[in-house]
Amino acid sequence: MTYPTQPKASHFVNGAYLEDADGTAIDVIYAASGERIAQLHAATPKVIEAAITAARAAQPKWAAMTGTERGRILRRAADIMRERNHELSVLETYDTGKPYQETSVVDATSGADALEYFGGMAATLTGEHIPLGEDWVYTRREPLGVCVGIGAWNYPTQIACWKGAPALACGNAMIFKPSETTPLCALKVAEILHEAGLPAGLYNVIQGMGEVGSALVSDPRVDKVSLTGSVATGRKVYAAAADGMKHVTMELGGKSPLIIFDDADIENAVSGAILGNFYSSGQVCSNGTRVFVHKKIKEAFLSRLKERLEGAVIGDPQDPDTSFGPMVSERQMEIVKGYIAKGQAEGARLVCGGAQLPRDGFYLEPTVFADVVDDMTIAREEIFGPVMAVLDFEDETDVLARANDTPFGLAAGVFTRDLARAHRVAAAFEAGTCYINTYNDAPVEAPFGGVKASGVGRENSKAAIEYYSQIKSVYVRMGDLEAPF
């Protein structure tokens, strides 16, 4: 079978597709079949140089345009993304293996939202006037310069837009390096931005593994790095960025708690647990994978959860009826299988799932473990797959201490009908994003990001502007100036 997935070239640099076949070959594998659906090449030093040179050359003119002009281009790109949603969603499904049912409503849509939101904000980015008697200070909000975005493989279109849109709105240029596992979607984002009128050199996409990302991060002509990835990569990138005193945003991993009290609406709580564990086959950073369920309702919760999971339609992710697809890669599937084996070896009770499906591609069953205790590996480490760990609790103070007893702090959720308790618990959570009677919403209007090892900085919302711009204070003296000598 041939797939409509081979891009015109591996990279998009200075407003055009660019190839350099000397780069290491990157095979793009369709997770639902195991077949190769495209082959690209990692960026050579020549390509990296071309991207940095183009970005540096284009950025000052872009920054000198008015916010209204910049914003208009971003909003036009949002419109094109919406018009091409079907094509982009099909491509995202090939790139990641995620069901079209999800990609058609989440990925390009959320990317378009970011372009529209930051496009609208571009014209509102102003400084302040600070009176000091008859003198005054004014501030200028200025771009950082050249920003590098490095993406994970779970939301390739969304991540390319979440980083690109605020960077461009603020007057920066962007060089985006997708994950080598999902290199296709960001090229389309670059193509659409240029179709919308973005001048050449401002949004470049170059492919490669960690080494390409690492070369970008350590280049002195790069001013900012925004990474979405694991904590281990985050540590390396943060250290390399510190060396050059660069600005950073780090969107890293998590092991988020979801607490379900005995007064919760069980059906809603089960929905929350499903959204927080099995969407995108569990490959979502903010997933609530430690599900603390009050002892009184534990068995009722588990039996309803099992029933609902049996209703998952597992199959060809391009089929709109499919609601549960494969893992992104064989490697990721093997990692997750290792965690399932550890869960069993350490004494957790397998409620359902646990096996690879006997079909082509990298399919794992939705898996639930009960009777998990805090120090089991599956309760401590990020699995990044369709594996839910259910733990018991009885007391609010005790469960909060256990929920916060983790190096991560990306997200947390609570299901209860007691409003006072809901807000008390949300306030006590050590997490960047908290959910009350819902889970895993991430609209562009709200800040998104983690605390503790889960990250630095925020994406989306007005908060993102702080991470893609800097403030200059300009002092103005109206009268004569006195000096001691």
| Residues contributing to the site for ligand NDP (CB under 6 A) | 150-154, 177, 179-180, 209-210, 213-214, 217, 228-230, 233, 236-237, 251-254, 285, 382, 384, 410, 450, 455
Of the two residues 250 and 293, which places its CB atom closer to ligand NDP in the complex? Answer: 250
Specify the pairing of strand 257-260 against strand 411-415. Answer: parallel
**By C-alpha distance, which of 118, 128, 14, 15 is closest to 70?**
118
Of the two residues 238 and 363, which places its CB atom closer to ligand NDP in the complex? Answer: 238
Of the two residues 213 and 326, which places its CB atom closer to ligand NDP in the complex? Answer: 213
Report, in Å, the least distance between residue 416 CB and ligand NDP.
26
Phi, psi of 321 (to 5 degrees): -80, -20
- DSSP assignment of 49-106: HHHHHHHHHHHHHHHHS-HHHHHHHHHHHHHHHHHTHHHHHHHHHHHH---HHHHTTT
Select which of 116, 180, 191, 459 is catalytic.
459
211 is catalytic: no
Q: What is the H or E stretch that residue 275 is in?
A: helix 266-275
**By C-alpha distance, which of 393, 394, 402 is closest to 256?**
402
Select which of 147, 285, 337, 365 is catalytic.
285
Select which of 251, 382, 396, 430 is catalytic.
251
Phi, psi of 217 (to 5 degrees): -65, -35
- DSSP assignment of 302-324: HHHHHHHHHT--BS-TTSTT--B
Of the two residues 176 and 261, which places its CB atom closer to ligand NDP in the complex? Answer: 176
Report, in Å, the least distance between residue 369 CB and ligand NDP.
20
Of the two residues 285 and 376, which places its CB atom closer to ligand NDP in the complex? Answer: 285
251 is catalytic: yes
Report, in Å, the least distance between residue 1 CB and ligand NDP.
26
End-to-end CA distance of the chain: 84
Here the tokens at position 181 are 């596992």
Contact between 8 and 26 under an 8 Å Cβ cutoff? The reply is: no
Dist. CA 32–CA 20, nearest whole Å: 29
Report, in Å, the least distance between residue 69 CB and ligand NDP.
30
Provide the β-strand partners of residue 314: 324
Dist. CA 226–CA 170, nearest whole Å: 15
Of the two residues 230 and 268, which places its CB atom closer to ligand NDP in the complex? Answer: 230
Select which of 163, 177, 298, 337 is catalytic.
163
Report, in Å, the least distance between residue 232 CB and ligand NDP.
6
Report, in Å, the least distance between residue 392 CB and ligand NDP.
26
- Residues known to be catalytic: 163, 251, 285, 459
